[in-house]
Amino acid sequence: MAAAIPQPITTSRLRLIPATEELLHAALKGNDALAAACGRVVPPTWPPLHFDPTAVKFTLDWLRKHPADAPWGFYCIEVPGDHGAPGTLVGAGGFKGGPDFDGIVEIGYSVLPNFQRKGYALEAVKGLVDFAFSHPKVQMICAHTLASGAASIGVLRKAGFVIAGRGHDSGAPPDQEVVRFELARP
């Protein structure tokens, strides 16, 4: 099956750039290779939480197995530059695959610490929500976060998500509780 060509997701202050195979291979080579591949500034604090080599390799493997579902993968979060200057990557986020049988998609996101508390995570989440609900098959969006993650919980609540109970995240520390949030189609 041919690979779908994902388009960036644009919000008022951000562009979510699709993590193509080329971009993901570059991310595995380091910040300079990533900057060259995407034409953006990659801060020295890159990568954001949850966009480590293990996650990048997982995403690459997923893209190879599901090329037609590329828009349901990961994105790099960019703050565009002013007056033609290159933008800056401030985080990563996206989907953990396309809608399942019940029309549910899961999102994840992370913003670099030096770019937090600027509203970028909330804006990126809202962009992902708008993208997901633009597809009629999507009936619900879920997200999992640590119960101790006050900032992430705040982002999800501000975006309209509600707690749905205990969650699961294989990457969570074993001693940490995970909470599931959901947002139903309006």
pLDDT in tens, 112-146: 999 999 999 999 999 999 999 999 999 999 999 99
95: β partners: 107
**Please, are residues 55 and 28 in contact by the beta-carbon 8 Å criterion?**
no
- pLDDT tens column, 21-64: 999 999 999 999 999 999 999 999 999 988 889 889 999 999 99
Residue range 9-184, CATH number: 3.40.630.30
Phi-psi region of 160 (alpha: psi -120 to 50; beta: other; left: phi over 0): left
Structural domain boundaries in the chain? 9-184
Which distant-in-sequence residues (6+ apart) come within 8 Å of 151 by Cβ? 116, 121
Q: What backbone torsions phi and psi does residue 85 show, to the nearest 5 degrees?
A: -70, 150
**Please, are residues 67 and 2 in contact by the beta-carbon 8 Å criterion?**
yes
Going by C-alpha positions, the residue among 77, 137, 73 that lies closest to residue 106 is: 73
Task: Read off the pTM.
Answer: 0.93
